[in-house]
Amino acid sequence: MPSFDIVSEIDMHEVANAVDQANKEVVTRFDFKGTNSNFELTDNIITLNTKEEYQLNQMMDVLSKKLSTRKVDVRCMDAATPELSSNKARQKVTLRHGIETELAKKMVKMIKNMKLKVQSAIQDKQVRVTGKKRDDLQSVMSMLKDAKMNLPLQYTNFRD
């Protein structure tokens, strides 16, 4: 029986390369001289450190540009509110991967509303869709692509 998995994954190696490139750009830019601005990557959290809040916004732009040139979807970023003190500003950006349970339930409901002969099941951080016809599975894929989820989705493990 044909099936496929709906997942949301990011390539952490590409993220590390993008953070390194962003650090190099911030060090060489004139408007960041003497601010000790930098990016730190630990697990799935990127921390932006600088002196002022407007520089945080510029650093977010640099980071999102570097991530998009490395083909990492910026919709996976979840920026927290900036932490401001007298001469330091810090912001944490969490990289989301895997489909949360609430979003998975929403996707399953959308698939059931299509009234196709397919079954969908939530498995850990992914959704598996099975059906008898390959065309039904492809129509589910196209519906999810058009749905504009706030998380980048990939379709893997397609079996015939």
**Structure confidence at residue 62 as a pLDDT band (50, 70, 90):** very high
Which pTM value belongs to this model?
0.81
Percent of the chain predicted with pLDDT > 70: 100
Q: Give residues with Cβ within 8 angstroms of 136, minimum separation 6.
A: 116, 117, 118
What domain range is 123 assigned to? 3-8+98-159
81 and 43, same domain (yes or no): yes
State whether the Cα torsion 75-77-80-84 is positive or negative: negative
Which residue reads 């601005």 in tokens?
A: 37
Q: What is the CATH number of the domain that holds 138?
A: 3.30.70.860
User: Measured between alpha carbons, how far apart are the two ends of the chain, in Å?
Assistant: 6
Co-location of 22 and 43 in the same domain:
yes
**90-109 residue pLDDT tens:** 999 999 888 888 888 988 99
Same domain, 76 and 109: no
Count of domains forming the chain: 2
